[in-house]
């Protein structure tokens, strides 16, 4: 039995799950406190959790083929201003010195109230090693504990920056370079990204090494991986180069769980913790990405588009003690019961609340005294939260993770109702209304921003507090909802199931097929170097013509963690059900269009409803399609699709013709269709390319070495021009 271990480091608890690789079955789960205050930081909690998992008699160290953890350390360090003093070495030539110094001169950034990030600067000749060493020595003498090297067109002259990094590391100082963190042009943004990366290097490197050593000492042979902010994982060596890629690592873990465990194809995923909630959009089986900003400044990082709100299952009720009625309930959060050191009323024995006194308190020193607390005879403060309100109103089913003591919440809300002149049920209802107002604004903004079809939007809840907010929010929005399977551990599940991933971006004007293939190969080389098995790597390529940008994203499983059996869900039953849910139709409406070794293509015919006053108008029809793998995971959803099954030998001759037939022409020119190849155990997305020769070249590269009789399904989706 091969196992995958996933660890999610949350603000309050660190959750660990062990999953059997072959059947994706959870065999163990552990929850330990997150050790923020420990001298070893959160690494101590991770180590403690690993030890707890290994006490399970069914788990042996030799069974563990994959181990990874998420981390909020990079994000917290930047948001709290807990960063190293950074020195930037600017490399200049005689002809560009003034320009480069001006572009690389970063203004001070406010990372947190009272915390300003202001790097020190030194410049040196790009081809003068002695001057570069003097620059590094001078920055170290000024108190810098991390170095960032930057040069104009450093992505094309990497050796210049590398020489500075090597010398700084020789001096015992953590160092990074502009081309390490970004491979596109833009000197100022690349320098800023490198400086922020350097700022968190010392802390992140120490924690990564400590955790990796602990896993090794525990007898775990699999290398420790860390969650990236794009939903993939990377090994410790990459963290020591680019820790900034772990920004939003925590929210990325939940989204990975939604995709890989809950199998969300289209919807809005809301992960509700104790202190905050993360809201994100999943479309056609993919999370949405956006450029990352830190302290209001642009970086050259692409991260998941996650909106984090300070309201969750443990947010405290706040009231105006001088007023009565509904208007007396001011807000919910941002302080949570966890931060204030309070228990939830729903998890407190009812007998302890019977003689408790209601008080209006400050959750922490320096806060306004406006939070409701029931103080027991033992002096313990008990908070009133959305989880308590959801239990009061019956939104949490018995047996759910968030289910509490009905008698306890009845006592708590009755006591508050007496103070405010309201019925206890009304208090609970207003509490959830206040909490969900914040979430509702964000959900509505995402629906508008991504132009989502309200008829096809589901709300999917994850996290331990999902039942506290998602059902009530769905009711206010009039949207269907569901809670993810194993919602309370969806994040560590996402970590456990994640793939090794990396992206390569290049600025290339009018890229040729050979240029695109070169970027693609570099992405593959990176993930293979990070531990992915070469035969298990998949690559997607994107072009942004307005920016002259070519981006290749590669992902793949490690050799040891590849699934060890072919135990999948039953084709024709669960697979068809998954396809029907993705296409929002009944199973009976599906047509099975094609199949290869591990995948089935389903389609449904759509008809546009014409107004009654146009009875003779032609009926417009089109086909929507999806690709489902043997385990019931929807891998691809395409609208206005065409599905053709060919052999490998037919691709070079037939694919250009198919692309030409599905190309759309309009006022803004021609637009190639989105294209995907499905064969064996691979789905190859060739969408987003500008020219037919580029698509054909990538298809030929992907299929190289296959037998000419290998079956390949081509899926095309017409786009508006």
Assign 134 to helix, strand or coil: helix
Q: What average pLDDT score do residues 675-697 get?
A: 86
pLDDT at residue 214 in the model: 80
Extract the tokens encoding 362.
Answer: 């400050």
pLDDT averaged over every residue in the chain: 85
Q: How far is 504 from 522, CA to CA, in rounded Å?
A: 7
Write the pLDDT tens digit of every residue in 432-441: 999 999 899 9
Q: CB neighbours of 628 closer than 8 A, spacing ≥ 6?
A: 575, 576, 578, 579, 582, 599, 600, 602, 634, 635
Burial grade of 365 (CB within 10 A; 0-12, 13-18, 19 or more): exposed
pLDDT at residue 375 in the model: 92
pLDDT at residue 608 in the model: 62
Q: What average pLDDT score do residues 214-226 get?
A: 84
- pLDDT range class, residue 567, cuts 50, 70, 90: very low
pLDDT at residue 571 in the model: 42
pLDDT at residue 666 in the model: 59
Q: Is the pLDDT at 565 greater than 70, yes or no?
A: no
Q: Is the pLDDT at 79 greater than 70, yes or no?
A: no
Q: Is the pLDDT at 93 greater than 90, yes or no?
A: no
- pLDDT range class, residue 90, cuts 50, 70, 90: very high
Q: How far is 317 from 327, CA to CA, in rounded Å?
A: 13
Cα four-point dihedral sign 319, 320, 324, 326: negative
Q: Is the pLDDT at 670 greater than 50, yes or no?
A: yes
Assign 129 to helix, strand or coil: helix
pLDDT at residue 566 in the model: 37
pLDDT at residue 564 in the model: 37
Q: Evaluate whether 464 touches 492 at the Cβ level (below 8 Å).
A: no
Write the pLDDT tens digit of every residue in 294-334: 766 778 778 888 888 888 999 999 998 888 889 889 899 88
Q: Is the pLDDT at 572 greater than 50, yes or no?
A: no
Q: What element of type H or E holds 8?
A: strand 3-9
Q: How would you classify the pairing of strands 674-679 and 682-685?
A: antiparallel
Q: Is the pLDDT at 66 greater than 60, yes or no?
A: yes
> How far, CA to CA in Å, does 251 sit from each of 8, 136, 494, 527?
10, 37, 10, 22
Q: How far is 440 from 561, CA to CA, in rounded Å?
A: 40
Extract the tokens encoding 545.
Answer: 């013509």
Q: How far is 277 from 386, CA to CA, in rounded Å?
A: 12
Q: Evaluate whether 146 touches 86 at the Cβ level (below 8 Å).
A: yes
Extract the tokens encoding 475.
Answer: 């009711």
Q: Is the pLDDT at 364 greater than 60, yes or no?
A: yes
Where does 264-349 show beta strands of DSSP type E?
A: 267-272, 277-283, 286-287, 289-294, 297-304, 306-309, 315-319, 329-336, 343-344
DSSP 8-state code for residue 34 = -
Q: Is the pLDDT at 285 greater than 80, yes or no?
A: no
pLDDT at residue 665 in the model: 73
| Cα angle: 418, vertex 424, 428; to 5 degrees | 130
pLDDT at residue 616 in the model: 54
Higher pLDDT, 348 or 568: 348
Assign 632 to helix, strand or coil: coil
pLDDT at residue 350 in the model: 93
Residue 676 zone, left/alpha/beta (φ > 0; ψ -120 to 50; rest): beta
Q: How far is 100 from 551, CA to CA, in rounded Å?
A: 26
Q: Evaluate whether 173 touches 144 at the Cβ level (below 8 Å).
A: yes
Q: What average pLDDT score do residues 536-541 get?
A: 82
Q: How many angstroms separate the most distant Cα atoms in the chain?
A: 83
Strand-pairing partners, residue 500, are 233, 556
Q: Evaluate whether 561 touches 222 at the Cβ level (below 8 Å).
A: yes
Q: How far is 501 from 234, CA to CA, in rounded Å?
A: 7
How much of the chain exceeds pLDDT 90, in percent? Answer: 34
**C-alpha dihedral over 388, 390, 395, 399, to 10 degrees?**
-20
Write the pLDDT tens digit of every residue in 515-527: 989 998 888 888 8
Nearest to 232 by CA among 220, 221, 248: 248
Higher pLDDT, 57 or 166: 166
Nearest to 471 by CA among 461, 457, 456: 461
Write the pLDDT tens digit of every residue in 113-166: 667 788 999 999 989 999 999 999 999 999 999 999 999 888 888 899 999 999
Higher pLDDT, 113 or 369: 369
Q: Evaluate whether 547 touches 541 at the Cβ level (below 8 Å).
A: no
Q: How far is 39 from 41, CA to CA, in rounded Å?
A: 5
Assign 27 to helix, strand or coil: strand
Assign 600 to helix, strand or coil: strand
Q: How far is 444 from 613, CA to CA, in rounded Å?
A: 33
pLDDT at residue 554 in the model: 86
Write the pLDDT tens digit of every residue in 430-471: 999 999 998 999 999 999 998 887 777 889 999 988 999 999
DSSP 8-state code for residue 61 = G
> How far, CA to CA in Å, does 448 sit from each of 240, 445, 479, 480, 657?
39, 5, 15, 18, 37
Q: How far is 228 from 249, CA to CA, in rounded Å?
A: 5
Q: What average pLDDT score do residues 417-425 get?
A: 92
Q: Is the pLDDT at 170 greater than 70, yes or no?
A: yes
pTM over 0.75: yes
CA 494, chain centre distance (Å): 9
Q: Evaluate whether 4 touches 66 at the Cβ level (below 8 Å).
A: yes
Assign 633 to helix, strand or coil: coil
Q: CB neighbours of 651 closer than 8 A, spacing ≥ 6?
A: 677, 699, 700, 703, 712, 714
Q: What average pLDDT score do residues 581-589 get?
A: 85
């Amino acid at each position: 039995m091969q196992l995958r271990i996933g660890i999610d480091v949350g603000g309050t608890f660190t959750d660990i799950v062990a999953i059997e690789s072959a059947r994706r079955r959870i065999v163990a789960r552990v929850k330990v406190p997150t050790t923020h205050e420990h001298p070893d930081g959160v690494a101590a909690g991770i180590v403690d959790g690993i030890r707890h998992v290994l006490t399970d008699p069914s788990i042996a160290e030799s069974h563990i083929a994959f181990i990874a953890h998420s981390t909020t350390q990079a994000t917290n360090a930047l948001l709290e201003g807990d960063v190293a003093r950074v020195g930037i070495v600017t490399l200049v030539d005689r002809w560009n010195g003034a320009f480069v110094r001006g572009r690389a001169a970063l203004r001070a950034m406010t990372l947190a109230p009272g915390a300003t990030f202001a790097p020190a600067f030194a410049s040196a000749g790009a081809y003068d090693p002695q001057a570069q060493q003097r620059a590094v020595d001078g920055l170290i003498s000024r108190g810098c504990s991390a170095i960032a090297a930057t040069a104009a067109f450093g992505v094309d002259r990497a050796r210049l920056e590398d020489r500075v990094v090597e010398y700084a590391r020789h001096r015992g100082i953590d160092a990074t370079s502009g081309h390490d963190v970004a491979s596109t042009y833009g000197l100022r943004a690349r320098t800023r990204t490198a400086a922020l990366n350097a700022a968190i290097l010392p802390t992140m490197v120490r924690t990564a090494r400590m955790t990796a050593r602990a896993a090794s000492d525990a007898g775990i042979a699999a290398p420790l991986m860390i969650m990236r902010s794009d939903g993939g994982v990377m090994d410790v060596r990459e963290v020591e180069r680019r820790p900034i890629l772990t920004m939003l690592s925590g929210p990325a873990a939940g989204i990975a769980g939604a995709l890989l465990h809950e199998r969300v194809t289209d919807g809005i995923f809301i992960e509700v913790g104790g202190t905050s909630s993360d809201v994100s959009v999943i479309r056609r089986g993919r999370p949405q990405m956006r450029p990352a900003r830190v302290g209001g400044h642009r970086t050259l990082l692409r991260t998941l588009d996650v909106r984090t709100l300070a309201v969750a299952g443990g947010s405290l009720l706040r009231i105006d003690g001088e007023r009565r009625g509904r208007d007396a309930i001011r807000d919910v959060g941002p302080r949570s019961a966890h931060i204030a050191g309070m228990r939830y009323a729903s998890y407190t024995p009812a007998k302890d609340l019977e003689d408790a006194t209601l008080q209006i308190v400050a959750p922490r020193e320096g806060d306004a005294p406006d939070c409701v607390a029931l103080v027991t005879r033992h002096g313990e403060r008990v908070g009133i939260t959305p989880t308590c309100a959801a239990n009061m109103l019956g939104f949490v089913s018995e047996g759910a993770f968030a289910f509490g003591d009905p008698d306890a919440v009845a006592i708590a809300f009755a006591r508050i109702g007496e103070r405010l002149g309201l019925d206890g049920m009304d208090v609970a209802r207003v509490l959830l209304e206040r909490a969900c107002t914040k979430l509702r604004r964000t959900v509505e903004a995402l629906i508008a921003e991504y132009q989502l079809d309200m008829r096809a939007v589901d709300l999917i809840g994850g996290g331990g507090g999902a039942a506290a907010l998602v059902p009530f929010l769905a009711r206010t929005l009039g949207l269907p909802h569901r809670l993810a399977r194993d919602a309370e551990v969806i994040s560590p599940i996402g970590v456990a199931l994640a793939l090794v991933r990396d992206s390569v971006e290049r600025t290339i004007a009018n890229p040729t097929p050979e240029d695109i293939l070169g970027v693609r190969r570099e992405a593959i080389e990176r993930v293979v170097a990070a531990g992915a098995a070469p035969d298990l790597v998949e690559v997607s390529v994107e072009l942004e013509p307005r920016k002259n940008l070519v981006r290749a994203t590669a992902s793949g499983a490690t050799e040891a963690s590849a699934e060890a059996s072919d135990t999948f869900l039953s084709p024709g039953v669960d697979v068809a059900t998954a396809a029907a849910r993705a296409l929002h139709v009944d199973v009976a409406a599906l047509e099975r269009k094609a199949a290869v070794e591990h995948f089935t293509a389903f389609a449904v015919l759509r008809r546009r409803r014409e107004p009654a006053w146009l009875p003779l108008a032609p009926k417009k029809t089109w086909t929507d399609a999806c690709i489902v793998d043997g385990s019931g995971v929807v891998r691809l959803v395409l609208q206005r699709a065409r599905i053709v099954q060919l052999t490998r030998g037919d691709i070079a001759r037939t694919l250009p013709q198919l692309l030409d037939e599905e190309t759309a022409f309009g006022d803004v020119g021609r637009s190639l269709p989105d294209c995907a190849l499905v064969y064996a155990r691979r789905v190859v997305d060739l969408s987003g390319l500008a020219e037919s020769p580029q698509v054909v070249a990538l298809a030929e590269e992907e299929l190289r070495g296959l037998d000419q009789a290998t079956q390949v399904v081509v899926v095309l989706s017409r786009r508006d021009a």
